[in-house]
Structure 1
């Protein structure tokens, strides 16, 4: 009987900590996206391709895009990846070869890229 109670408590703790970790991860991603969109430099990107991340939010897939990004400030072009939630009706707007607006935020050596 005592063993069953211990297993139940441990399972409950695992579920609670898992839910907290999931909420932390998703809210952190939302905060990072908002920061990049607000403070980042405007640029353009050509979509080179995309793949499914295996994650979804609200029933919509989160896709990982491979991009060729160009910044007007220095004319440089570089490759980057960006994750974005794409609703089914938005899929035609995110096909390989298309050009999209992006925001790029420099954090030290890292470049954070978000599709607008």
Structure 2
């Protein structure tokens, strides 16, 4: 199967290929994503009691940081170490690093 450069790898591609693809995507520039919370999350979460959250495929951590700013304890999981480094920096910059944790894992094979 041929992958286009602008498309993420499919689930049937080798795992190392997925990690390489995402690392290359994050290497293209600083800040691949906006860094802002997803609008749907921002509209739904305020009605929920704060607690613990898990963000699978957290990327650069926009949702993780926002949730932590709202009082949540959040774990962000992503395949890309570059994305997680940026997410961790964003949490520190926002002063919520004590409410966040980041895990590098391939969700296709992750076993807690």
TM-score normalised to structure 1 length:
0.26
Greater fraction of residues in helix: 2
Q: Determine which structure has more spread, i.e. the larger CA radius of gyration.
A: 1
Higher strand share: 1
TM-score (norm 2): 0.26
Q: Relative contact order: is structure 1 or structure 2 higher (C-alpha 8 Å, sep ≥ 6)?
A: 1
